[in-house]
Amino acid sequence: MSINDLKRLLYLREILGGEIMLFSKFFAPTSKDIPSDVKIASHQLMLRAGMISQAASGIYYWLPLAVRVLEKIMKIICEEQDKIGANKVYFTTVQPAELWIESGRYDDYGKEMLRITDRKGGKFLYSPTNEEQATDVFRKYIKSYKGLPTILYQIHWKFRDEIRPRFGVMRGREFLMKDGYSFASTFEEAEKIYHKVFKSYIRTFRRMGLTPIPVQADSGAIGGNMSHEFQILAQTGESTLYYDKKLLTASDEELMKVFAVTDEKYDPNTSPIPQSELMVSKGIEVGHIFYFGKKYSEPMNAFVLDKNGQKLYPEMGSYGIGVSRLIAAIIEAFHDERGIIWPEPVAPFDVTLLNLHTSNKDCVGACNKIYRALSESKEVLYDDRDMSIGEKLGDADLIGIPWQIIVGEKNLSQGVVELKNRKTGEIAKLSVDEVIGRFLKK
RNA sequence: CCGGGUUUAGCGAAGUUUGGUAUCGCGCUUGGUUUGGGACCAAGAGACCGUGGGUUCAAGUCCCGCAACCCGGACCA
């Protein structure tokens, strides 16, 4: 930091007081260079916006801008999980192999599982999923039917050693996932939980500005239709969805029953709905829920005693949301040729304040006043960087914060600043007080 | 896992055919001029050319092995 930078920083701190979010001090290494071999928009934009940086194939550093979005997403998920009575825990990222040997999956899981040996030669693995651990925690503490039903969930890093990672964090090997596990005394109770989670997932994704499409998924050996994937419509999606157009207008209650499947399960000969009612779209899978009965409770000897003192093996289900993938999915759904357009609930900041003329006292004064007023109730990124105007405006569009307040000397000499909506591109010229008023009302 | 490709400064590339000790753009540093859509001038810093071996007086360049990474496909939150 040069002496001038330091002086300016101290000056701003003095004027604004306390914590200020200055772009010049915020670690968001933006770039105008488009990596040539990066194919999809979300991957390109995340790199260009300085959100992620590759550490190894399918493994990424998460930089501050992305972290802020991850935190917004996690907060929404946790609030919705709380509403259905799920308990948040942290299982572990490194697990002893014993549990997987017990469930019978240690040999089945294959090379996707990263196997680790500790200094004593003990067998461990990096969690690709946590059914065994959830079952283990459950069996250690819950001994009576009165402890049912129970839902445990976590948001934690997972690792699956994909053969072919691609599309940035969309299909990385290391990923952040919300995974929940339910324990119920009867099938009926398990079904009730499943429905509750289903509806909760719809709400969760909607709160992020997304339109989730629940599709029936393969529930494997258990059978039945108690498995759904939640897909987000996006042209670059890896799945092809076939669904009844009623789906887009159905109420939450009806949603689970409306026809929707991915291409693997679609057969025009047996389709329950006519061609004229059918929609076909590309989707990105961001959630998956399923019921799997006693698949883990029995082999792992997780039981409670029922009213008659008899062993009862709980009916289980598991519920996943790809948190890190969601960031990419949201960008796929919301971007234009200039950059990202964040939905407000998950935006890294609410508003970005651009000082186009950092050496102009009036501009500095206006920006400081706006920052001070808005930062009481909004998250504001103040672009105080001393660089060319095009670069600052370009970065603002790239980063995609929903609102831009643009302060420049020409407009300010007329007594106005600009308020730009990133999504619509609409620009309003308002006085400093008016622009403050706009945000304090919201 | 099958097929194709790449690896030279922080990033992106040229140089490899024809062996002679590395070039350009962006970025970075310093100073100055600029300021409404990625500006200009000047002066700098920065590379054991992915890695191991071989051929040669001499290897970024030729030969052999290995690794990492990317793309398409088959598979997965």
Spatial distance from the CA of A399 to the C1' of B38 (Å) = 15
Spatial distance from the CA of A408 to the C1' of B54 (Å) = 65
pLDDT band at A284 (very low <50, low <70, confident <90, very high): very high
Query: Taking the C-alpha atoms of A292, A293, A299 and A303 in order, what is their torsion angle to the nearest 10 degrees?
Result: 140
Spatial distance from the CA of A326 to the C1' of B20 (Å) = 55
> What is the per-residue pLDDT for A18?
58
| Shortest CA to C1' contact from A354: nucleotide | B36
| Shortest CA to C1' contact from A169: nucleotide | B77
pLDDT for A166-224, tens place per residue? 899 999 999 999 999 999 999 999 999 999 999 999 999 999 999 999 998 876 555 55
How far is residue A235's CA from residue A37's CA, in Å, rounded to a whole number? 19
* Residue A1 predicted with pLDDT over 50: no
| Shortest CA to C1' contact from A359: nucleotide | B35
Q: Which of A210, A307, A223, A214 is nearest to A259 (CA)?
A: A214
Spatial distance from the CA of A58 to the C1' of B2 (Å) = 20
pLDDT for A116-152, tens place per residue? 999 999 999 999 999 999 999 999 999 999 999 999 9
Q: Which fold has domain A56-336?
A: BirA Bifunctional Protein; domain 2 (3.30.930)
Spatial distance from the CA of A253 to the C1' of B57 (Å) = 84
Within a 10 A sphere around the Cβ of A429, how many other Cβ atoms? 14
Per-residue DSSP letters for A53-102? Answer: EEEETTEEEE-HHHHHHHHHHHHHHHHHHHHTTPEE----SEEEHHHHHH
Q: Which of A179, A151, A138, A192 is nearest to A312 (CA)?
A: A138
Rg of chain A on CA atoms, in Å:
25
CATH of domain A3-21+349-441: 3.40.50.800
> What is the per-residue pLDDT for A6?
54
- Range list for CATH 3.30.930.10 in chain A: 56-336
Spatial distance from the CA of A115 to the C1' of B39 (Å) = 54
Stretch A61-80: mean pLDDT: 97
Spatial distance from the CA of A36 to the C1' of B62 (Å) = 30
The CA distances from residue A104 to A100, A299, A383, A388, in Å, are 6, 8, 55, 61
Spatial distance from the CA of A140 to the C1' of B27 (Å) = 56
| Shortest CA to C1' contact from A406: nucleotide | B36
- Asked whether A197 and A77 are in contact (CB, 8 A), the reply is no
Spatial distance from the CA of A120 to the C1' of B65 (Å) = 34
| Shortest CA to C1' contact from A40: nucleotide | B71
pLDDT for A72-81, tens place per residue? 999 999 999 9
Least confident of A7-11, A43-47, A55-59, A227-231: A7-11
Within 7 A of a protein CB, which nucleotides of strand B? 1-2, 11-13, 26, 30-31, 34-39, 68-77
Q: How far is CA A314 from the centre of its chain?
A: 30
Residues, chain A: 442
* Residue A372 predicted with pLDDT over 60: yes
| Shortest CA to C1' contact from A238: nucleotide | B76
> What is the per-residue pLDDT for A72?
98
pLDDT for A321-344, tens place per residue? 999 999 999 999 999 999 999 999
> What is the per-residue pLDDT for A4?
55
Stretch A393-419: mean pLDDT: 96
| Shortest CA to C1' contact from A285: nucleotide | B77
Stretch A78-96: mean pLDDT: 97
Mean pLDDT, chain A, rounded, equals: 91
- Range list for CATH 3.40.50.800 in chain A: 3-21+349-441
The proportion of chain A whose per-residue pLDDT surpasses 70, expressed as a percent, equals 93
